[in-house]
Amino acid sequence: MNQLEQLKQFTTVVADTGDFQLMKQYTPQDATTNPSLILKAVQKAEYRPLLEQAVREQHGNGTDAVMDALLIAFGAEILKIVPGRVSTEVDARLSFDTDATVAKARHLIALYEQRGIARERVLIKIASTWEGIRAAEVLQRDGIRCNMTLLFALVQAAACAEAGAQLISPFVGRILDWHRKQAGDQWDAEAHRGAADPGVRSVSQIYAYYKQYGYATEVMGASFRNVDQILSLAGCDLLTISPELLEQLAAGNGDVARQLSPDNAGRDPQPRVAVDEASFRWQLNEDAMATEKLAEGIRAFAADAIKLEALIARVDR
């Protein structure tokens, strides 16, 4: 078996792309999208009809309606390919507004259900801010399952689990990016490979914490920079992987060994993390990497949403 096939023995593989054709090649269980991936996809000729159809159907209803229709159109097409779930993201500009996030999530689920797609096949992606986590708590009680994204710290993960979120997406590569940038010329790439990679360490810690305390929330490593990071997290509940890295795994023939397992997660017990609002905000504030990458990620997703709106406006002329 190639490395991708071996990895699937331990971990649910998820495609991190809006490109349907690439999904078909690698037969993932689930797929994730975000505004950046949708923006990239609709600029390709083969996906232009989805954009044009959303504009036609929602003509006169405003850009927000077209955006929502486009997200649902992509999600519905993806669900024809993957047997599991698709993640659809709430506008990042709502990341600090609990009520607006809840309303948008309910609206997106209603649009899916109008197409005959059960809510169990959809994960609503929400930024792991305090307000986003509170929105997830409300939505999960409604039976709307949430994928908590832009997650960089254990305190975010602990708060998401206490809120009953279905799934979290800790960002491996962006954590590595921050540490590498901070070290500058002093960065030792070899010393930070495999289990020593700061992003891998973060996800491993979160996985162990969840298993130690019996949380049902799923851990899905995301934002990978290389195959080594992926293989170092073999055994994680899920891993969402870009087409480029899926291709490398499919071409790889080396042995893949399980690295994370519930059986050894409690080997180094961790104290329970306080997740009341004051404790959450303070712990996040004290983690410069998590604070900076969370803010940066929200800005980047918001910027791509604005670009997508501008593209819609040009098509709608």
Domain containing 67 — which CATH number? 3.20.20.70
Split into its structural domains, the chain has a count of: 1
Structure confidence at residue 132 as a pLDDT band (50, 70, 90): very high
The residue range of the domain holding 261 is 3-315
For 85, the 3-state DSSP assignment is coil
Two tokens, residue 90: 């709430």
What tokens appear for 139 in the block?
Answer: 């939505």
CA distance 146 to 125: 6
125 carries an active-site annotation:
yes
Which two structure tokens, joined as six digits, stand for 215? 């949380």
Confidence of residue 283 (pLDDT cuts 50, 70, 90): very high
pLDDT at 298 exceeding the cut of 90: yes
**Mean pLDDT of the 94-100 span:** 98
More confident site: 164 or 312 = 164
Confidence band of 317 (pLDDT split at 50, 70, 90): low
* 11-25, 82-96, 301-315 — most confident range: 82-96
State percent of the chain over pLDDT 90: 88
| Measured distance CA(202)–CA(212) in Å, rounded | 15
Catalytic residue among 125, 181, 293, 307: 125
Alpha carbons within 13 angstroms on the beta-carbon side of residue 13 total: 25
Kindly tell me if the per-residue pLDDT of 22 is higher than 90: no
pLDDT digits (tens, 9 = 90+) for 159-201: 999 999 999 999 999 999 999 999 999 999 999 999 999 999 9
Radius of gyration of the chain (CA): 19
Asked if residues 149 and 125 have their Cβ atoms less than 8 Å apart, the reply is: yes
DSSP bridge partners of 13: 239
- Residue 316 clears pLDDT 80, i.e. is over it: no
* pLDDT (0 to 100) of residue 92: 97
Judge whether residue 241 has pLDDT over 70: yes
Cα-based angle 247, 251, 256 (whole degrees, multiple of 5): 100
Q: What are phi and psi of 259, to 5 degrees?
A: -105, -35
Task: Name the band, by pLDDT with cuts 50, 70 and 90, for residue 18.
Answer: confident
Mean pLDDT across the chain: 95
Residue 301 has pLDDT above 90, yes or no: yes
Looking at residues 129-136, what average pLDDT do you find? 98
Give the pLDDT of residue 204: 97
pTM, to two decimals:
0.96
